[in-house]
Amino acid sequence: MDSIGIKLPPSRKQTTDQQDIDLSGLNLKDKFMNVEPVEEPPKMSMAKEKLLEEARRVLDAEDKSGKKAISIVVIGHVDAGKSTLMGRLLYELGRLDEKTRRANERASEKIGKSSFSWAWGLDGTVEERERGITMDIALETLETPHRQITVLDAPGHKDFIPNMISGASQADCALLVVDATTGEFESGFQRGGQTREHLLLVRSLGVSQVVVAINKLDQVDWSQSRYKEICAELRPFLTQSGFQPQKTSFVPVSAMQGVNLTSVNDAGASSLRQWYSGPSLVDLLDKLIPPIRDISAPLRIPISNVYRRQSSGAAVSGRLCGGVVQVGEKLRVLPGDETAIVKSIELDEAYVPWAASGSNVTLNLTAIDPVNLGIGSVLCAPTDLVPLATLFTARIIVFDIEIPITAGASMELFHHSRDVPVTAVKLISIIDRASGKVLKANPRVLTKGVSAEVRIALRNIQVAGAPQVSRGIPLETFTSNKDMGRILIRRGGETIAAGVILEING
């Protein structure tokens, strides 16, 4: 009853929210009702100084226990048996289970490629399996008594050299696989074959240790003379390419039969034991020496792969080329103005709170759109940015080329997983490789075998007829960061030179 005595009807409770009606009519109700709460980014667990102390303590403990981490890139001419060798090795070391092996065997027989069944342990894409060749970098981990090894299986085909360069730039050591069968070693080692080019590339990218696995010896009746012949051919070239003899080792194997991968006392190794009693492949991998990790250097992570996560954010993989990174850390992406926060770190198939220089990691990132992450970009601390360069001076060694390099020559620059068009704007001098003295200033051309200083500029590209100014790419001088200061130069599908950055000019 109101103040003047009139009885009002009881208030009817509104049974349907008008907003619900509007959302349902527009088919938006589920979208709005199921919005997940925004996840708070993780916080850093320790200060930078404390993190460095922790990293030093753990790395020292690794040194004392002898279980050291190291990464190897598997290289060699196409069809030398690289993926088959690594697939069989993973099986012998218990990293590939029997169920998966049998599934690969049945599936490969079904499409008429039974000889590739071991390679399927690493070649996982449909196209790789159908074509029977490795096209991209496959990453696996394995353990020997004293080493935790990250394996980067690189493509051998010349069409995929850029992918091979990306893999080699993430490696500490190399495993070269050569085919011992008559004619096959020769075709891989002659000019145009990938054996020579791969060795030059990995050496130019800082790899100083190499294990040579002479594969398919079972197909030449375990011939000792063939093994010695191949070793005699390779040794001078390895020395000439810059590998020291004491950091080079050779081992006879058969990937398909699994002979001498883990032991020379295998049942199928009776023919080999008649003349060979040396170490197995695993014995040699177990003795590789990890390089010194520069954990106090500024953080640098060149991105080698970008993955979109179904839940949220993105993930990137790459190798730390200096410094340490931890969960919760804010990182800058260069080139660009974007930042991201490290949500989690994956290392050797396990989640870890931090990772140090030399580690091959996958970083799950938050607070960034995946579209702003590109292969070849570099992650670094916002307080210590990597320089962006469009013009720089480099010291290069020219490989065995037929067409000399001239001023104004167009080339392709490879730096980690990035390749960009460049121009040799000035040939500064030809220098003596041993002493560094200038032999000739302002040369007209650079021919095969010379060492030289050149000025290189990023080349502007045309998009829809309009010139587009090239953005700088993240580079550093070799003295600042050895991994970030190495470059490769290619032209017409051929690697023509490699070198180090002396100075960034613009």
Indicate the domain borders of the chain.
62-285, 301-380, 388-504
Q: How far apart are CA 38 and CA 378, in angstroms?
A: 27
Q: What long-range pairs does 191-195 form, CB within 8 A, spacing at least 24?
A: 191/400, 193/77, 194/75, 194/76, 194/77, 194/78, 194/156, 194/157, 194/158, 194/161, 195/76, 195/77, 195/80
Architecture of domain 388-504: Beta Barrel (2.40)
243 CB neighbour count, 10 Å cutoff: 23
257 CB neighbour count, 10 Å cutoff: 16
Beta bridge partners of residue 150, listed in sequence order: 71, 141
Do 301-380 and 388-504 come out as alike in CATH topology? Answer: yes
Integer-rounded Cα radius of gyration of the chain:
28
- Buried-exposed string 343-364: b where 16+ CB fall within 10 A, e elsewhere: bbbbbbeeeeebbbbbbbbbbb
CATH 3.30.560.10 correct for 301-380: no
Among candidate residues 259, 264, 269, the one with its CA nearest the CA of residue 279: 264
- pTM (2 decimals)? 0.81
Q: What is the pLDDT along the chain (506 residues), one digit of tens a residue?
A: 444 444 444 444 444 455 555 555 555 545 444 544 556 778 888 888 999 999 999 888 877 777 888 999 999 888 888 888 888 888 888 877 666 656 655 565 554 444 455 555 444 444 433 444 444 456 788 899 999 999 887 665 565 678 788 888 889 999 999 999 999 999 999 877 789 988 999 999 999 999 999 999 999 999 999 999 999 999 999 999 999 999 999 999 998 899 999 998 887 889 999 999 999 999 999 999 988 889 999 999 999 999 887 666 799 999 999 999 999 999 999 999 999 999 999 998 899 999 999 999 999 999 998 899 999 999 999 999 999 999 999 999 999 899 999 999 999 999 999 999 999 999 999 999 888 899 999 999 999 999 999 999 999 765 455 555 568 999 999 999 999 999 999 999 889 999 999 999 98
Place of tokens 């003596």: 432
**Strand pairing of 248-252 and 209-215?**
parallel
Burial class (CB in 10 A: 0-12, 13-18, 19+), 124: exposed
Residue 3 is predicted with a pLDDT of 44
φ/ψ region of 115 (left if φ > 0, alpha if ψ in -120 to 50, else beta) reads alpha
Among candidate residues 34, 36, 44, 32, the one with its CA nearest the CA of residue 313: 36
Residue type, 40: E
120 CB neighbour count, 10 Å cutoff: 23
H or E segment at 283?
helix 281-285
| 3-class state of residue 438 by DSSP | strand
Q: Which fold has domain 62-285?
A: Rossmann fold (3.40.50)
Phi, psi of 273 (to 5 degrees): -65, -15
CB 401 within 8 A of CB 496: yes
3-class SS letters over 82-123:
HHHHHHHHHHHCCCCCHHHHHHHHHHHHHCCCHHHCCHHHCC
Q: Give the number of residues written for the chain.
A: 506
Angle CA 470–472–476, to nearest 5: 150
Q: How far apart are CA 500 and CA 450, in angstroms?
A: 15
**DSSP string computed for 7-23:** PPPPPPPP-S-HHHHHH
CB 480 within 8 A of CB 385: no
Task: State the DSSP code for 459.
Answer: P
